[in-house]
Structure 1
Amino acid sequence: MTTHAANEADWQGWQRSWDRQQEWYMPDREERFRVMLDVVEAVVGPEPRVLDLACGTGSISDRVLRRMPKATTVGIDRDPALLAIARGSFRDDARATFVTADLSDPDWPSALPGGPFDAVLTATALHWLRTEPLRELYGQLAGVVREGGVFMNADHMPEESTPRLNAAVHLFEERGRERRRAEGALDWGGWWQELAKDPALREVAQERFELFGNPAEVRHDHNSEEFQNAEWHAGALRAAGFAEARAVWASPTDGLVVGLR
């Protein structure tokens, strides 16, 4: 199985491309990262050991290490293509480690190099899980975060009690995305299509498509039906063993929920 793409890949170029693609969906992406790191520093200080959960290309690890140079990070993900970019991007940085594991496997914590962690952070990733698997994951995370440590999840957290507002925001955001698309921005499927054209990443992209499907060819390659609101996330974290949990940031469609052990 391919685990690393060839060295010719423009790792930093693909990191920047990933950020632009994600910002096509979330223009406020950096704001949620800023709030996330503010909370980390407030709760566990400026030298945390961080688990970047469902890390993708290592976007959170990158922000943590730039802001807190004495921090260390462990990124965990299942996607071989995104992990290839992460490993290539951080190949010269001993502070960052990346491991391959499937969060749907109950034994995934055994893949981690040590623990528990001061902070476990994730963004726009756990919506891949449906409600009950996500509840089970939160139960596992209570054992991965040290006492006094913090877990944060920034993700889609719609509030169904405001349907008119939701419809207006949806239309507004769609118009913004179409405007950015006209300016040359890539959406999710388009980004993967471009990645698969890179000779240095073609094999690892195909490996990814065999696992999850090709986003350029399937309309939904992950859960798009079950989204929980911020109150549900906070309640599930408290039920899992976190001492405190609440939302600390929100946009009209997304939220950032914190659980304190």
Structure 2
Amino acid sequence: MTADLHDLVRRWDAQQAAYIAGREQRFTAMLDVLELTVGGDATIVDLGCGPGSLTRRVLERFPRARVVALDYDPVLLALARKTLSEYGERVTVVDVDLLDPHWTDGLGALSAAVSTTALHWLAPDELLRLYARVHALLTPGGVLLDGDHFRFDDRDPVLQKVALAHDERTQQVAFAAGAEDWATWWDAARAHPALSPHVAERDRRYGARTSAPATTVDFRLAALRQAGFGATGTVWQLLDDYVVWAQK
């Protein structure tokens, strides 16, 4: 059954890549910046870890790193716990709601915080509060890396159109090559005997939540500065897909 779950993570990565053209390049950029700033002997929190895609890459790249992987989705948490268990005490998977003001309780000081394709679920005011709480957790010199689509707005109509066309082409090519879409992957996850017991709780937690408005990269950078970070910037970009960086 564990092999089936590892295959489900592989399929997750494939369906995510259908929506994110530079997903692996984004991961690599984040890992490179971690290496050059906090080094490999670090304690890192993964905000919205999902099934552990970024956490696994951090642990593989940095054999002495320790990761605290946080998420609120019971299905993805179960998948992460089962497929990351090979890393033993180097990884801790925690069920936590990032909207809870006490989510940082018990975490202790951190070298870095990372997130990818997760924090867009937060409303702008929620994101600002999250960044401030992360800033408080980080040791001096600690960094935050947030990789996601930060959509162009009406100030950039040409790039907005190009980015949309690029997304559509990426999906067409991936699906034609056999990649699953979001709904198909979730159908498989819900039906898996190791994950199906968590489906009802997932539906309860997310049933009343609504999508947050899209934010631009300049909003993200301004929010990081407002949260107290002294240095901020963009360390990777492919159209409206970015990795933003901030250092305490």
By how many angstroms is 1:169 displaced? 2.7
- Aligned to 1:126, which of 113, 119, 133? 119
Match of 2:75 in 1: 81
Measure how far apart 1:111 and its partner are.
5.0
Q: How many residues align?
A: 246
Q: Which residue of 2 aligns with 1:217?
A: none
State whether residues 154 and 257 of structure 1, in contact with CA within 8 Å, keep that contact through their aligned partners in structure 2.
Answer: yes
Deviations 1:60-100 (A, max 9, x none): 11111111111111101110110101100112322111111
Indicate which of 92, 97, 120 corresponds to 1:102.
Answer: 97
Retained in 1: the 8 A contact 2:51–2:76? yes
Does residue 238 of structure 1 match 2:225? Answer: yes
Q: CA RMSD in A?
A: 1.8
Deviation at 1:222, TM superposition (A): 4.8
Counterpart residue number, 2:167:
173
Alpha-carbon shift at residue 8 of structure 1 (Å): 5.7
Q: Report what 1:190 is aligned to.
A: 184
CA contact (8 A) 1:230 1:246 kept: no
1:34 match: 28
Q: Residue type matched to 1:123 in 2?
A: T
> Which letter maps to 2:104?
P
Contact 2:43 2:67 in 1 (8 A): yes
Can you list the C-alpha shifts for 1:128-170, whole angstroms capped at 9, x where unaligned? 0111111111111111111111011111112222212211331
Asked if the contact 1:99/1:111 (under 8 Å) is kept, the reply is no
Counterparts of 1:31 and 1:172, CA distance in 2: 16
Cα distance change on mapping 1:19 and 1:8 into 2, 3 Å: closer
Counterpart for residue 206 of structure 2? 212
Q: Identity, % of aligned pairs?
A: 37
1:223 matched to 2:211 = yes
**Which secondary structure does the structure 2 equivalent of 1:153 belong to?**
strand
Structure 2: runs of 5 or more not aligned: none
Counterparts of 2:75 and 2:19, CA distance in 1: 20
Letter of the structure 2 residue corresponding to residue 229 of structure 1:
T
Aligned residue identity for 1:256: V
- Kindly report structure 1 stretches of 4+ aligned residues shifted beyond 3 Å: none
Aligned-pair CA distance for 1:197: 1.8
What is residue 4 of structure 1 aligned with on the other side?
none
Tell me how far apart the structure 1 counterparts of residues 238 and 87 of structure 2 sit (CA, whole Å).
Answer: 33
Measured in 2, the distance between the counterparts of 1:180 and 1:241 equals 40
Partners of 2:152 and 2:216 within 8 A in 1: yes
* 1:169-221 residue CA offsets vs partner (Å, 9 max, x unmatched): 312321331232233211112211111122222121332123224xxxxxx97
